[in-house]
Amino acid sequence: MGAHKGRKLCQAGVALDRGRTVAAAMMAGDMHVGPPDTMKRVAASLVGAPAGNATALRQRIAGVFDGPDIHQPDALMGVTTDDLLAAVERAVAAAEAETAG
């Protein structure tokens, strides 16, 4: 599990396969983002991504989170793609540490 506190708290969890590819992911936090399935869609977009490639992870997150159907009541105080990426990167580090130990 990884967490990042930007303007809002973002949490991520990932499971990695032997090739360091994201096999499963979850996203959560204290943000108010619509539609309601946004964080599930972000998590699903991460599956199959190379865990060590921040650019690829960011592109997958942005592909959902920066979409025209995604909205936040207060975008200036809301969560960003980079906030979500930071939580995912921390989750990846935690998953790697768990498998190494």
The alpha helices in 1-101, defined as continuous H runs, are: 38-46, 54-65, 81-100
Average pLDDT over residues 25-37: 90
CA distance 38 to 32: 10
In three-state secondary structure terms, 10 is strand
- Per the structure, the count of domains in the chain is 1
Tell me which residue range forms the domain holding 61: 2-100
What are the residues whose beta carbons fall under 8 Å from the beta carbon of 20, sequence distance 6 or more? 50, 51, 52, 96
Nearest to 60, CA basis, from 51, 69, 73: 51
pLDDT tens across 61-90, in order? 999 998 999 988 776 678 899 999 999 999
Mean pLDDT of the chain: 91
Q: Is 0.85 surpassed by the pTM of this model?
A: yes
CATH number of the structural domain spanning residue 80: 3.30.390.50
53 residue type, one letter: N
